Amino acid sequence: MILIFVLWLLLSPATVYAYLDPGSGAVLVNIIIAGIAALLYSFKNVILRLFGKNSPIKDQANTKQIGILSEGTQYSATFQPIINAFLEHKIPFSYYTLDIDDPALTIDNELMDSHFLGFKKWGFSRASILKVDNLLCTTPNIGVSGYPIKKSPDIKNLIHIFHSINDLAMYKKGSLDNYDTVLMVGPFQEKSIRELETKRNLKLKKLVSVGLPYLDVYSESNNKDDKNKESQKTILIGSSWGDKGLLKVYGIDFIKQLVAYDYNVIIRPHPQSYTSERDFIKKLKNETKYLHNVLWDDSISPVESMVKADILISDTSSLRFDFAFIFNKPVITLQINTELMPGYERDDLSSIWMEEAEKKIGPIINKESIYNINGIIEKAIEEFHPNRIINFRNETVVNYGKAGEAIAEYFSDYALKGDND
């Protein structure tokens, strides 16, 4: 209809009281036609993203056996290894996303049927009525009262895949109560899942240790060298967001303490901080802008900062284990009062995996200890050498660097055969 309307405008006779040079007219017409073509092409792409591509698979019903639900671009590193493995194993699947800029929507493969579900409420509503046998997602809370995404009655096997190295302690209460299968980073996560199932009299989930897909992507980062590495040590500060984040709890004085020891300091807030506590971050940036050796990292990926850093200082953030396991470098954990973390599964667990695991990648310190931070940093770098951290990583994460392949094998061996017992 748009094309017909534009052609009508171009071809309809009209009285025009102006002179147009023939050469200029030809150029103008070409520009208009090119603009129309670009408009139609963009319109076509939007339609494809909204309603999906007509996949030429002979039996399109196959794409309804497996579905992937992504919240958006920030989870690309988790899903890309899975997508690659599915395509390599010739496994057809549907891909649903709540982000119109999701790079996976640009993948053109007959085995992959991609859909942008829509913005906000529209997207949540469509995600709640998906018709697919096995739905894989990082999203917790599906089906929980008050959460905008419901569990579709047409989903036979709702599958959660972890996107961090942690147990359920830092998940909101009830986050996985409605799931049928959990693809775990390693066996260490089983304890917290089973304990909550028993306490709440839930049906036992199928638990499969497959690894952590984004480590397939980032494991190669350890081979990168920082060519601009300075003689001064670089400290990366990785903070959670909200009241439990170290930037809120420890504040500007802690950063000044590091600067006083002449360390290079990179501050990386949690991405959610730029939405939920924008004014606080702005204030902190203003307070540090005159400190010559302080930089802020606002990038999507933390890898560049991790490469530069000699050590990470963090709080309860799972970034600690990413840093330690990918780069084999130590982490200093700053203690955070657990009263600042109400409403999490940790309240119902008899023990917290993280509290023991964090001791194996570096020291844990409190507010009083930050005045001796220089000595603590130097000792941590000396004591928590790479081999020590690698051994702990191997005990914790299965299929390191090969999780995508393991997930494809799971779907081939179990999910597609309906074996979820």
Q: Provide mean pLDDT across the span 223-235.
A: 71
Percentage of the chain modeled with pLDDT above 90: 65
Between 316 and 180, name the one with better pLDDT.
Answer: 180
**pLDDT tens readout for residues 364-396:** 998 888 889 999 999 999 999 999 999 999 999
Reading the block at residue 327, the tokens are: 């780069």
Q: Is the pLDDT of residue 66 over 50?
A: yes
Q: Is the alpha carbon torsion for 129, 135, 141, 143 positive or negative?
A: positive
Taking the C-alpha atoms of residue 95 and residue 116, their distance in angstroms, rounded to an integer, is 8
Q: Provide mean pLDDT across the span 324-349.
A: 89
Highest mean pLDDT pick, 19-33, 45-59, 401-415: 401-415
Q: Provide mean pLDDT across the span 308-325.
A: 94
Q: Is the pLDDT of residue 8 over 70?
A: no
**pLDDT tens readout for residues 70-80:** 999 989 999 99
Between 107 and 23, name the one with better pLDDT.
Answer: 107
At residue 354, the pLDDT reads 92
Q: Is the alpha carbon torsion for 149, 154, 157, 163 positive or negative?
A: negative
Q: Greatest CA span in the chain, whole angstroms? A: 87
At residue 23, the pLDDT reads 45
Integer-rounded Cα radius of gyration of the chain: 26
Between 226 and 293, name the one with better pLDDT.
Answer: 293
- pLDDT band for 229, please (50, 70, 90 cuts): low
As a whole number of Å, the end-to-end CA separation of the chain is 53
Contact assessment for residue 294 and residue 255, using Cβ atoms and an 8 Å cutoff: yes
Contact assessment for residue 316 and residue 336, using Cβ atoms and an 8 Å cutoff: yes
- pLDDT band for 144, please (50, 70, 90 cuts): very high
Q: Provide mean pLDDT across the span 210-222.
A: 90
- In CATH terms, are 60-212+401-417 and 227-396 the same topology? yes
Q: Provide mean pLDDT across the span 223-228.
A: 60
Q: Provide mean pLDDT across the span 389-405.
A: 97
Break the chain into its structural domains and give their ranges. Answer: 2-51, 60-212+401-417, 227-396
Q: Is the pLDDT of residue 290 over 50?
A: yes
- pLDDT band for 197, please (50, 70, 90 cuts): very high
> What is the pLDDT of the chain when averaged over all its residues?
85
Q: Is the pLDDT of residue 5 over 60?
A: no
Q: 142: exposed, middle or buried (C-beta count within 10 Å: 0-12, 13-18, 19+)?
A: buried
Q: Is the pLDDT of residue 6 over 80?
A: no
At residue 128, the pLDDT reads 97
Show contacts of 281-289: CB within 8 Å, 24+ apart: 281/247, 284/247, 284/252, 287/252, 288/252, 288/255
Q: Is the pLDDT of residue 264 over 70?
A: yes
At residue 414, the pLDDT reads 72
At residue 379, the pLDDT reads 96
- pLDDT band for 337, please (50, 70, 90 cuts): confident
User: Which fold is adopted by the domain 60-212+401-417?
Assistant: Rossmann fold (3.40.50)
Residues 6+ apart with CB under 8 A from 129: 152, 154
Superfamily of domain 227-396: CDP-glycerol glycerophosphotransferase, C-terminal domain (3.40.50.12580)
- pLDDT band for 360, please (50, 70, 90 cuts): very high
Q: Provide mean pLDDT across the span 42-61.
A: 47
At residue 30, the pLDDT reads 46
Beta pairing partners, 94: 67, 113
Least confident of 13-27, 214-228, 233-247, 363-377: 13-27
pTM summary value: 0.81
